[in-house]
Structure 1
Amino acid sequence: MSRRRHQPEPGDLIKIKRSVYQHWALYLGDGYVVHLTSADEGIRCLSASSDTTLSKKAKVKKQLLKEVVGNNDWEVNNKYDRSRTPLPVKEIIKRAESYIDREMSYDVLCENCEHFVTMLRYGKSVSDQARIGFGSILSFGAVVCAGIAVACAAFVSPRDKSREKK
């Protein structure tokens, strides 16, 4: 059974804790959420780990929260309210409902499910998950490059000093 911090209100962001990432939805009311999910009807949600590509097609769906959550833990998480002002609830819901059944692009770094629901709630998309994930990729890349440079330097032998004297 899934757990939650408190009962969601219309317009709330819902963070669903998956094994490797978090899936995000927006609560509409009456037990329903809207979320960005795979355009393939057989796949419940998108993640960077579910495919080797970072870009794909997605579809906006209205579903019962309990169906989207499954056995995963979830919570209301309006964390961006500290730095952004939410739109009026009626506007959030109207915007969300206007996207239902639309096909959209999906990119794990700049057009993911968190970007989508924050765009609905605040009028501007944001994703800490993508920013932190992208930062990790860059950090890992820097470490790999530094390691390659050190390895290359180890194979380059210093000039033979005895030859320089001749």
Structure 2
Amino acid sequence: MASPHQELKPGDLIEIFRLGYQHWALYVGDGYVIHLAPPSEYPRAGSPNALSVLDRNAVVKQERLEDVVEGCNYRVNNSLDREYRPLPIQVIISSAKKKVGQKMEYSIVRRNCEHFVTKLRYGKSRCKQVESTVDKGVLMIILGIVLGSSFAIGRYLYQ
């Protein structure tokens, strides 16, 4: 859970730690968040479901933070504040509330819940989960090529 000393403020990005991934929401005040929820997480949009990454559509929901969290650990994560200036709080909250109920295209790589909330807070869509995974994937491919090449050269030299 978030630290009891950590006060949630409207406009904060909430990172919720699910099994195998993080779900993201935007805190709008009075215990409520707005988030992008794939249909496999219905009827309770906060229900942890790793299969939600396979959905191609999602809906914007406003729900109580405690219902979305459902016992998972979470924290405020405004780490992109170091790179971008957050939009004015009124703009963030107003934009988020206008989207509630809208169906949106969903893609784990290009249009997921983290992209959604960072676009609301900063006006820029970012997902560090995907960026980190892509970076690790590229590194593993390069490492595989290097090791594979080394193995092939070694076999050639020692035949």
Report the TM-score, using the length of structure 2 for normalisation.
0.82
CA separation of 1:17 and 1:34: change in aligned 2, threshold 3 A: same
Which one-letter code corresponds to 2:113 in the other structure? C
How many residue pairs are counted as aligned between the two chains? 156
Q: Deviations over 1:40-93 (max 9, x none)?
A: 32564687x53685x621111111000111111111121111221111111101
Of 27-36 and 147-156, more deviation after overlay is shown by: 147-156
Unaligned runs of 5+ in 2: none
Contact 1:38–1:44 (CA<8 Å) still a contact in 2?
no
Instruction: Give RMSD over aligned pairs.
Output: 2.6
Counterpart CA distance in 2 for 1:102 and 1:123 is: 18
Tell me what 2:111 maps to.
Answer: 111
After superposition, residues 58-97 of structure 1 pair within 5 angstroms as 58-97=58-97
Tell me what 1:50 maps to.
Answer: 51
Cα deviation for residue 132 of structure 1 reads: 0.7
Contact 2:59–2:101 (CA<8 Å) still a contact in 1?
yes
Cα deviation for residue 158 of structure 1 reads: 8.2
SS of match in other structure, 1:107:
coil
SS of match in other structure, 1:33:
strand
Contact 2:106–2:112 (CA<8 Å) still a contact in 1?
yes
Tell me what 2:128 maps to.
Answer: 128
Report the TM-score, using the length of structure 1 for normalisation.
0.79
Unaligned runs of 5+ in 1: 160-166
Cα deviation for residue 19 of structure 1 reads: 2.5
Cα deviation for residue 33 of structure 1 reads: 0.2
CA separation of 1:115 and 1:146: change in aligned 2, threshold 3 A: same
Matched, 1:29 2:29: yes
Q: Deviations over 1:6-43 (max 9, x none)?
A: 12111111111223222110001111100111123256
Percent sequence identity is 35
Tell me what 2:2 maps to.
Answer: 3
Cα deviation for residue 141 of structure 1 reads: 2.3
Matched, 1:143 2:106: no
Contact 2:15–2:76 (CA<8 Å) still a contact in 1?
yes
